[in-house]
Structure 1
Amino acid sequence: MKHLSTILSLIAIAGVTVLFFKNNNSSKKAGVKKVSSDSASIRDIETEGKVAYFEMDSLENNYSFMKDAREKLKQKEAALTKELESTKNGYMNRLKQLQEKAQSGAMSQQEQESAQNEYMQMQQKMQQQEGKVAQQLQELQLQMLKEIHNNIKEFLNEYNEDKKYAYILSHSDGDFVYYKDSTLNITNDLLEGLNKKYAASKTDK
């Protein structure tokens, strides 16, 4: 997942570089543009082709929705694990009964075969339940990530209506970014906006 994010970031940066050179060449051919005194027009020119970014690590640590979602996932994992352990203990107790009966010599051949089949069924059911728990947790995690992605995307679409950034990228430790202009860091804006929206959604409920 991180490799895919890195590749997409590199593609985006390459696209911006191409855009910059195209705009630069066009400006040379057409001559100097007349700058309007209108503040919106000035801002459009100043931000044209710029790339903003936000720090994903800071978002993970300070976005209330992400922290609550992780806690819910942790609680769900604990509940499912407890249920799994209870089932496992029940199977182990039953297996112990069968072993004790077999060791006492009180089991007929038919009962031994039946016990063997019962053990295999218990083992199969246990594996199925473990797989089911793992799948449930994976689905919950994917759902959480999808919600976070949608929340970020929705906010940035609104945020960029007047900012006019060409790209807004996420940055994490390990990304191949060797220089960042801190004036283009919108992490604080993003966190403030996302947390306000999340707080409002909790109040509505």
Structure 2
Amino acid sequence: MKKFVALFLGLGLAFTACEKKGGSTSNAGQPAGRIVYVNTDTLLNNYEYYKDVVKEFENKSFALENELQRKAQSFQNEVALFQRRVQAGGLSEQQALTQQAALQKKEQDIMLYRENAAGNLQQEQAKKTDELLNNIHEYLKNYNKSDRYDMVIGYSKGGGVLYAKEDLDITQEVLKGLNEEYKSKVKKTSTPADSTAKK
């Protein structure tokens, strides 16, 4: 999940929109606007959709790790049994070679499965990150329908922005709106059966 967070923070929350604010203009003759920011640390810690996504991938990673441990343990048991049978002289040379080749193939299959499963999980995480950023971008686009701001930037401690005035912080407004939007989506996708089961 650290990669997931890093990817999100790396992409940031940059968003631009034209704005005419009180008719004032910059030196370049362009309409002067206001830049505000969203604290990405606060957003990540409190955005319910993000928390659900993190929990989902933690569960998937845990389940995959358990499955791989079971496969590895089963394989080790087979190897130990094979070694005991060889030492006891219970296998002919040909049988031993055949079984050894089968065990090597099984080990390769487990390693390949591990790589594929980890790769699929990373692809899923990348897709969810993209979805998350799209949600935030679309929300900010709607939030700025009245063209109040030229830019909304992502701020995090230790990031590129070293200081920003507190009255430029719109994190709580954005967070509230995003969580309300997410709750609404969850409610729409929940079936009556789900509601009954929760009660």
Which category of TM-score, normalised to the shorter sequence, fits these structures?
0.7 to 0.9
Structure-2 change in CA distance of 1:62 and 1:176 (3 Å): same
Q: Could you tell me which residue of structure 2 aligns to residue 101 of structure 1?
A: 85
After superposition, residues 101-120 of structure 1 pair within 5 angstroms as 101-120=85-104
Q: Give the number of aligned pairs.
A: 174
State the Cα distance separating 1:178 from its structure 2 match.
2.3
Measured in 2, the distance between the counterparts of 1:3 and 1:58 equals 12
RMSD: 2.4
Structure with the higher fraction of residues in helix conformation: 1
Select the residue among 42, 66, 74 that pairs with 2:58.
74
Q: Could you tell me which residue of structure 1 aligns to residue 20 of structure 2?
A: none
Q: Which moved more, 1:91-100 or 1:173-182?
A: 173-182
Alignment partner of 1:24: what SS? coil
Q: Could you tell me which residue of structure 2 aligns to residue 64 of structure 1?
A: 48
Measured in 1, the distance between the counterparts of 2:174 and 2:168 equals 12
Calculate the TM-score normalised by the size of structure 1.
Answer: 0.76
Which has more radius of gyration? 1
Query: 2:8 touches 2:129 (CA, 8 Å); kept in 1?
Result: no
Task: Kindly provide the amino acid, as one letter, of the partner of residue 115 in structure 2.
Answer: G
Calculate the TM-score normalised by the size of structure 2.
Answer: 0.78
Measured in 2, the distance between the counterparts of 1:183 and 1:60 equals 20
Identity %: 28
Measured in 2, the distance between the counterparts of 1:162 and 1:185 equals 18
Gaps of 5+ in 2: 1-6, 17-24, 190-199
Q: Could you tell me which residue of structure 2 aligns to residue 189 of structure 1?
A: 173
Query: 2:9 touches 2:40 (CA, 8 Å); kept in 1?
Result: no
State the Cα distance separating 1:184 from its structure 2 match.
1.1
